[in-house]
C-alpha cells in the first residue's frame, strides 16, 4: 500500500519551491530594511503557553491544536506566543529596550483543509516588543503594505481598535445586550460565544449572523481617551506614510490577547480564505507570560500558502527555476573519469555544475543540460580528450561558435564567467 502525506499536510516540490524561496528572500530583504532581526523557536511548546496567551475560549485552543495530551505539549498553532516566551526566557528586553524580531516557519492547526487552508501552514511573523507608540503600529502596517507591493500582490488593509481592559468591558456589556435581543436568530456557535467571547459574534461568517449584527454598536465609538488618541494617531500616521486603509468595526480577530490596534490585509482573489496577513497590539501579554511589567507589543503574521497562491496567479512574477553554470557531458569511461574530478574542482571554485553518471546517450545528456537551464555545456569527445581538451558550447546563444578548451578548471571558469 502506498503511503501518502497526511490530509492538510503538503510537500513543496521543485517547480513550486522557487516561489517560496522568492517570497522568503523578498520578505527578509524588506524586514532588514526596517531593521528587524531573525529569531527561530522550536515547534513544540508547553500547552499552557498557548492556552494562557491565545485564550481558552478561542477556536484555536478549543478545537484546532495538535496536543500530545499525556505530555501536555502542543505543536505551535501560531508564532507570537513562542516568540514572546523566547523573548522573556532570554531577557532580550535587557539587551535592547525595543526589540524588532521576525521569524519564518510552520504552524499547525487541525482545521478543515481547503485551498489556502492547511493543517501545517507557514507564516512570516514580525513583532515589535517594548513600544507602545502608535507610530510603530503604522510603521508595521506600512512594512506589510510595502512587502505586498514589492511582491506585486493587491491587498487592502482593514483596521480596527479593540480598546483596552479599561474601555472594553463597558463595550462588551453593551454588545451582549444587543446580541441577546437577537439570540434566537444566531448560529449555535454564536449562541455559545455570547457567554464566552461575545466579540467573536461580530466576525461570524454565517450569513444569518451577519445580517443580525450589521447595526451592532461599534467599539470605535466606545474607546477611552487614551485608546481613542492612540487610534487617531495610528490613522494619521498611516496617512502620512501614504498607506490606504478602511475601518472595519467587525474585525475582532480570533485571539484573546489583542488590545487597541488590530488589522488584516485582505485579498479579493482567494475566495473565502481572504486574509493574507493579520495582527495587532497585545500590550498585556508579555506580563501575562511572566515577562517584565507593562511591556507593550505589536505584531502580525502573513500566511505564506495564500501568498504563494497569489504569486502563482500572476502571469509574470520573474521567478525562474534555479539555473546552473555548466553541464559536463561525455561518452565512455575516459570521459567519465576526466569529467568527474573536473566537475568537483569547478564546484569548489563556486560554479554550479551538473554531470550525468548513468552513461546515457550524448543526445539525452544535452537534453538534460537544456532542462537544467545550463548556461554552457562542456562536451568531452574522444578526439579532444586525447589532447586533454573538450568542446565548450554556449547554450543560451546559439550564434556563439563552440570552442575547443583545455580541461583545466581555471581556464574553464574564466571562459564561462
- Binding segment (CB under 6 A) for ligand ATP, from list 21-29, 85-93, 231-239, 298-306: 298-306
Binding mask 76-95 for ligand ATP (x = CB under 6 A): --x-----------------
Residue of the chain from 24, 111, 132, 189 that contacts ligand ATP (CB under 6 A): 111
What contacts 24+ positions apart, CB below 8 Å, involve 357-365? 361/331, 362/329, 362/330, 362/331, 365/327, 365/329, 365/330
Interaction between residue 296 and ligand ATP (CB under 6 A):
no
Neighbour count for residue 319 (Cβ, 10 Å): 14
For β-strands 246-247 and 156-161, DSSP reports them as parallel
What contacts 24+ positions apart, CB below 8 Å, involve 15-18? 15/321, 16/308, 16/312, 18/319, 18/320, 18/321, 18/322
Interaction between residue 301 and ligand ATP (CB under 6 A):
yes
154 close to 267: Cβ distance less than 8 angstroms: yes
Residue nearest to ligand ATP (CB): 303
Interaction between residue 200 and ligand ATP (CB under 6 A):
no
Interaction between residue 156 and ligand ATP (CB under 6 A):
no
Neighbour count for residue 279 (Cβ, 10 Å): 26
- Binding segment (CB under 6 A) for ligand ATP, from list 36-44, 112-120, 212-220, 353-361: 112-120
Which DSSP state fits 81?
A: H
Q: Which three cell numbers stand for residue 15?
A: 517547480
By beta-carbon proximity to ligand ATP, the closer residue of 81 and 278 is: 278
CA dist 278 and 125 (Å) reads 10
Residue 263 C-beta: closest distance to ligand ATP, Å: 10
* E-state strands within 249-325: 259-266, 275-281, 297-303
- Binding segment (CB under 6 A) for ligand ATP, from list 15-23, 169-177, 269-277, 401-409: 269-277
Interaction between residue 384 and ligand ATP (CB under 6 A):
no
By beta-carbon proximity to ligand ATP, the closer residue of 11 and 401 is: 11
By beta-carbon proximity to ligand ATP, the closer residue of 123 and 235 is: 123
Residue 78 C-beta: closest distance to ligand ATP, Å: 5
Interaction between residue 118 and ligand ATP (CB under 6 A):
yes
Which chain residues interact with ligand ATP by CB under 6 A? 78, 109, 111, 116-118, 121, 123, 254, 273, 275-278, 301, 303, 305-306
Amino acid at each position: 500500500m502506498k503511503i501518502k502525506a497526511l490530509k492538510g499536510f503538503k510537500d513543496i516540490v521543485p517547480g513550486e519551491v522557487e516561489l517560496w524561496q522568492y517570497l522568503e528572500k523578498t520578505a527578509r530583504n524588506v524586514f532588514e530594511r526596517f531593521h528587524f532581526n531573525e529569531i527561530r523557536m522550536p515547534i513544540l511548546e508547553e500547552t499552557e503557553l498557548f492556552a494562557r496567551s491565545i485564550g481558552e475560549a478561542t477556536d484555536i485552543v478549543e478545537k484546532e491544536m495538535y496536543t500530545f495530551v499525556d505530555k501536555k505539549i502542543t505543536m505551535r498553532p501560531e508564532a507570537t506566543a513562542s516568540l514572546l516566551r523566547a523573548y522573556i526566557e532570554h531577557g532580550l528586553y535587557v539587551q535592547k529596550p525595543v526589540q524588532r524580531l521576525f521569524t519564518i516557519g510552520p504552524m499547525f492547526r487541525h482545521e478543515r483543509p481547503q485551498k489556502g487552508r492547511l493543517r501545517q501552514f507557514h507564516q512570516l511573523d514580525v513583532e515589535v516588543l517594548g513600544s507602545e507608540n502608535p507610530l510603530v503600529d503604522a510603521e508595521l502596517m506600512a512594512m506589510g503594505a510595502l512587502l505586498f507591493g514589492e511582491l506585486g500582490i493587491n491587498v487592502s488593509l482593514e483596521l480596527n481598535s479593540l480598546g483596552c481592559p479599561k474601555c472594553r468591558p463597558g463595550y462588551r456589556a453593551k454588545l451582549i445586550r444587543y446580541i441577546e435581543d437577537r439570540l434566537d436568530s444566531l448560529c449555535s456557535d454564536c449562541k455559545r460565544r455570547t457567554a464566552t467571547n461575545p466579540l467573536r459574534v461580530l466576525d461570524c461568517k454565517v450569513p444569518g449572523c451577519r445580517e443580525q449584527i450589521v447595526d451592532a454598536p461599534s467599539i470605535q465609538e466606545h474607546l477611552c481617551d487614551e485608546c481613542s488618541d492612540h487610534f487617531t494617531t495610528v490613522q494619521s500616521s498611516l496617512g502620512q506614510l501614504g498607506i490606504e486603509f478602511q475601518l472595519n468595526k467587525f474585525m475582532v480577530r480570533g485571539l484573546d490577547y489583542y488590545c487597541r490596534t488590530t488589522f488584516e490585509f485582505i485579498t479579493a482573489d482567494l475566495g473565502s480564505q481572504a486574509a493574507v496577513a493579520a495582527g495587532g497590539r497585545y500590550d498585556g501579554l508579555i506580563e501575562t507570560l511572566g515577562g517584565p511589567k507593562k511591556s507593550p507589543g505589536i505584531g502580525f503574521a502573513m500566511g505564506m500558502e495564500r501568498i504563494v497562491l497569489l504569486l502563482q496567479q500572476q502571469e509574470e512574477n520573474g521567478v525562474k527555476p534555479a539555473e546552473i553554470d555548466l553541464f559536463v557531458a561525455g561518452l565512455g569511461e575516459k570521459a567519465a573519469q576526466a569529467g568527474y574530478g573536473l566537475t568537483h574542482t569547478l564546484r569548489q571554485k563556486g560554479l554550479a555544475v551538473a554531470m550525468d553518471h548513468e552513461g546515457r546517450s550524448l543526445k539525452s545528456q544535452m537534453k538534460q543540460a537544456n532542462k537544467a537551464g545550463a548556461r554552457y555545456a562542456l562536451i568531452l569527445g574522444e578526439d579532444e580528450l586525447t589532447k586533454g581538451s573538450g568542446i565548450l558550447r554556449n547554450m543560451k546563444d546559439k550564434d556563439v561558435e563552440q570552442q575547443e578548451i583545455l580541461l583545466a578548471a581555471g581556464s574553464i571558469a574564466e571562459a564561462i564567467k
